[in-house]
Structure 1
């Protein structure tokens, strides 16, 4: 398979992709060196503004008609380490989310802490830089090294700023699960590199080089199991999800869950590396993985319906959504994959809105237990609207980003398998509506039966209005204008699925 590349010099006056990584690194250093929370917050706001500006410029200059990797940069750092960056329709939506969500977190932390610690802002910005590097990497060694570093910021945040009763459990489980996933991922990466040595007589883990050599079926199956395990842990896919509920319940209220749930690096890894490099293994394991996805949909939804705590409810909701996305990826269908990418972006925005609303509810009520909440809509209607709009988007209601995305995914499921899988996905969506609307009713509309430690009637402050308004506007803007985003991903998705439409699958043609 030959991959076309367009160098950054033909599309921009500066290396935009490197700038997207370097900007939060610089902001993180400045925030770490500042002596006051106010200065750290200012550094975070300025960095976020520049990062969003760069992401908007990238999207504006992105050539939607080209089936190629764009803004490509390739160098050797210190003559040894690979440095290969590029973006296409598959990665662009993830990059935009990685620019937006940490910027909203900076605003959220100013609300919660008023004067957030410089170390906290520095860790959020460093995490953003590592996420950008992961989403733009076109070399598997570079990707794995960044994935190892990307585990550190959430571990430090969980260790020092967890808000639950048990601070050790989320840190320990997150570290253990991610370490196991990284070890499996490294094994799969080395297996692909060794295959390249066998076939081309030299070592390479560059994405373009790996696509050009054939991989025996047995090697593909081994590599698939290793890579899938590594990405499934990061994705919190059932049954590799054991770290997410404790992190949601005892960890930070928004920071870690927003970035690990909102920006699905595991899903990106499947689309970027597994599907193009291991076509025969993907076909061999397709039915098993789709079954795993369907099981995850009902497992997550069923447990979400049983929760009395909003934090765990949202964690199991994310697990259910992950199952739906996994089914979409393994439809191996153009409509299905297009819908999956759009739905992943929708879930990222919607889940972030739900988590931010949960954090603001906890700030006033001192609890996220549903029996202790109620009657908050009258004092904070915008917060209630934000929660409801995010819930409706998760349920794929018309006018939200999830509507067209879910229908494309269902079309792909019907075309690729049968009505049974599509019906299971649709039923899972109905269960999502049940527990999210129930949670909304308990928090904002039901009469409060028990006293709370704080006063829930305090109206929203200006920063809280800003945060809620941005989330609502982003959901509505994308929901009513999905055509441009379909155009962004269609070329890249079409090139990816064309190989699976062929009658035989050697190395991808």
Structure 2
């Protein structure tokens, strides 16, 4: 994970789109390194605890295999330290509020492909599911309110931040922060529907958020800007691009028939069941999410064509159409037939809940 920082630093600083791309590269690298430190210390504490459980002298008893660490019974103070170290590291890398500031900067200053990667692959959220919660299950359940609070804060703050944007890339970055907040809230429910919805949504991020950024990149290549003031009427000259952008946006809003609907439905139902107030706040965030996307979409793609660049822009080429078409197929198939994904994740989520001592 840390080795990826070197190529990403050069990709952002040398091939970024914005004038502050070097600042964005430095900020991203430093924040990722800072997030890696608590992760490293958390895993080291687990390794030393494994040696202590065997009564061995370090380094003889050190072990970092996942099944062995899951079997550890940590004392409360040590489990607390491990949980908060892992949680802090993964929150930075997700990113979750208040550690989110690097994502909008990278989205605006870095290459579009890198921004698509950052918003599409939420490995930090996966790390919370895979490591932070199972390795410190008692503390995770004890501080369920903290996870839920961070989730609700991210949902509302990200949505309100996106509502104020006038640039499509900035809007998508803030929208990603809002959506990952809902994933944190679903994790905090500690039930089958919540964790399956969270995993479903993490898979959706790859296709929906990544696809939206790729489409925004195609738009930037043709017009030289993603600011609303430089667009307007783009649907008249690029109808296929506008149509796919709308489909992907509807998926991010959780409209029935798209893959966003079953994931958001499961997460919201689990949140309303376990944290009713937070679930109601999440519903408000979903409504705001529809507002910011539709507002910017209307301004960017509808209305009269006033820019010469937009008037002469080319629609999606066959190669671009093929790539985006595959993404759209995934969105529709998993929206209409979500049971395949749910059946695939059922066994793993059941085992995950078993590690926490809760029933599915």
Does structure 1 residue 166 correspond to structure 2 residue 20? yes
CA drift of 1:421 comes to 1.6
Structure in which a larger fraction of residues adopt helix: 2
Match of 2:188 in 1: 330
Give the one of 370, 376, 389 matched to 2:234.
376
Matches within 5 A, 1:52-71: none
Does structure 1 residue 446 correspond to structure 2 residue 292? no
CA drift of 1:296 comes to 0.9
Does structure 1 residue 207 correspond to structure 2 residue 66? yes
Match of 1:242 in 2: 101
After superposition, the C-alpha distances for 1:73-110 in whole angstroms (9 at most, x for unaligned) are xxxxxxxxxxxxxxxxxxxxxxxxxxxxxxxxxxxxxx
C-alpha contact 1:357 1:387 (8 A) present in aligned 2: yes
CA drift of 1:500 comes to 3.5
C-alpha contact 2:121 2:205 (8 A) present in aligned 1: no
Match of 2:9 in 1: 155
After superposition, the C-alpha distances for 1:97-142 in whole angstroms (9 at most, x for unaligned) are xxxxxxxxxxxxxxxxxxxxxxxxxxxxxxxxxxxxxxxxxxxxxx
Match of 2:76 in 1: 217
Other structure's SS at 1:377 match? helix
C-alpha contact 2:122 2:205 (8 A) present in aligned 1: no
Cα distance in 2 for partners of 1:500, 1:196 equals 19
CA drift of 1:416 comes to 2.1
C-alpha contact 2:119 2:176 (8 A) present in aligned 1: yes
Give the one of 428, 433, 436 matched to 2:290.
433
CA drift of 1:262 comes to 0.8
Q: If the length of structure 2 is used for normalisation, what is the TM-score?
A: 0.94
Matches within 5 A, 1:108-123: none
Other structure's SS at 2:235 match? coil
Give the one of 171, 185, 206 matched to 2:39.
185
Match of 1:471 in 2: 327
Q: How many pairs are equivalent? A: 354
C-alpha contact 1:383 1:468 (8 A) present in aligned 2: no
Matches within 5 A, 1:72-471: 147-200=1-54, 201=56, 202-253=61-112, 255-418=113-276, 420-449=277-306, 451=307, 453=309, 455-471=311-327
C-alpha contact 2:14 2:22 (8 A) present in aligned 1: no
CA root-mean-square deviation: 1.6
Other structure's SS at 1:240 match? coil
Cα distance in 2 for partners of 1:502, 1:496 equals 9
Q: If the length of structure 1 is used for normalisation, what is the TM-score?
A: 0.67
CA drift of 1:468 comes to 2.4
CA drift of 1:217 comes to 1.1
